[in-house]
């Protein structure tokens, strides 16, 4: 399988998050508004997952300030947004590398090469699960079933791009394609 080149999202400078001047961009806030508009009046909290994803897309991860900003926009308690952010592993509560590689190690994948794929990636990148390579390029994460067991072993790039049948050769190709 030939992989197209994968480009990491643009990330702001880290000092974007420091001090009291934290704010999401106007473009992201407008997207929040469009998500809220999908739900009936008074049900704006239903947009919490989408808004958290948009905030993460802008910043690269979800610092407490971003979670509070989402909660503030939706008019819900910060803890309600935090509960969602901590429940789903697509939300990153600490900085990750430019490429987050989530390897499924649930049983069907594990029995079909998932465990080996994870070990291969650990060895190749020189990191364990929940660790980032020293150059900040890759973060390796252990994931749950992604509903693509028939394509095992499966991994997900940056929470979006699903890659199946990840033999060592395919993993090598994928890593090379990460620009
Ligand atoms: S067990 Fe890996 S995708 Fe289902």
Provide the CATH number for the domain around residue 39.
Answer: 1.10.10
Q: Given this model, what pLDDT does residue 71 score?
A: 95
Closest CA to 101 of 77, 132, 73: 132
Atom number, ligand 1, closest to the C-alpha of residue 107: 1
Atom number, ligand 1, closest to the C-alpha of residue 114: 2
Q: Given this model, what pLDDT does residue 17 score?
A: 45
Report whether pLDDT(171) > 80. yes
Distance (angstroms) between ligand 1 centre and the Cα of 133 equals 25
Model pTM score:
0.81
Closest CA to 105 of 69, 72, 141: 141
Whether 3 is in a domain gets the answer no
Does ligand 1 come within 6 angstroms of the Cβ of 164?
no
Query: In the predicted model, what is the mean pLDDT of residues 73-101?
Result: 94
Same domain assignment for residues 79 and 103: no
Query: In the predicted model, what is the mean pLDDT of residues 136-142?
Result: 95
159 or 48: whose pLDDT is higher? 48
How far is residue 158's CA from residue 61's CA, in Å, rounded to a whole number? 11
Mean pLDDT of all residues in the chain? 89
Same domain assignment for residues 127 and 80: no
Same domain assignment for residues 108 and 146: yes
Same domain assignment for residues 77 and 107: no
Does ligand 1 come within 6 angstroms of the Cβ of 106?
yes
Q: Given this model, what pLDDT does residue 175 score?
A: 95
Does ligand 1 come within 6 angstroms of the Cβ of 154?
yes
Tell me the pLDDT tens digit for each residue of 13-23: 444 444 455 67
**First-residue to last-residue Cα distance in the chain:** 18
Confidence of residue 68 (pLDDT cuts 50, 70, 90): very high
């Amino acid at each position: 399988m030939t992989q197209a080149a994968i480009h990491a999202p643009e990330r702001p400078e880290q000092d974007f998050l420091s001090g009291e001047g934290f704010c999401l961009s106007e473009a992201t806030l407008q997207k929040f508004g469009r998500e809220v508009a999908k739900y009936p009046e008074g049900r704006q909290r239903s947009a919490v997952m989408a808004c958290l994803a948009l905030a993460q897309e802008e910043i690269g991860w979800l610092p407490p300030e971003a979670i509070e900003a989402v909660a503030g926009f939706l008019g819900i308690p910060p803890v309600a947004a935090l509960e969602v952010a901590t429940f789903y592993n697509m939300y990153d509560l600490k900085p990750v590398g430019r490429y987050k590689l989530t390897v499924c190690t649930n049983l069907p994948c594990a029995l079909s090469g998932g465990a080996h794929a994870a070990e291969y990636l650990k060895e190749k990148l020189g990191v364990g699960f929940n660790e980032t390579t020293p150059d900040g390029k890759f973060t390796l994460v252990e994931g749950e079933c992604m509903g693509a067991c028939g394509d095992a072993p499966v991994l997900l790039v940056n929470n979006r791009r699903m890659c199946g049948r990840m033999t060592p050769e395919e993993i090598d190709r994928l890593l090379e394609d990460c620009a």
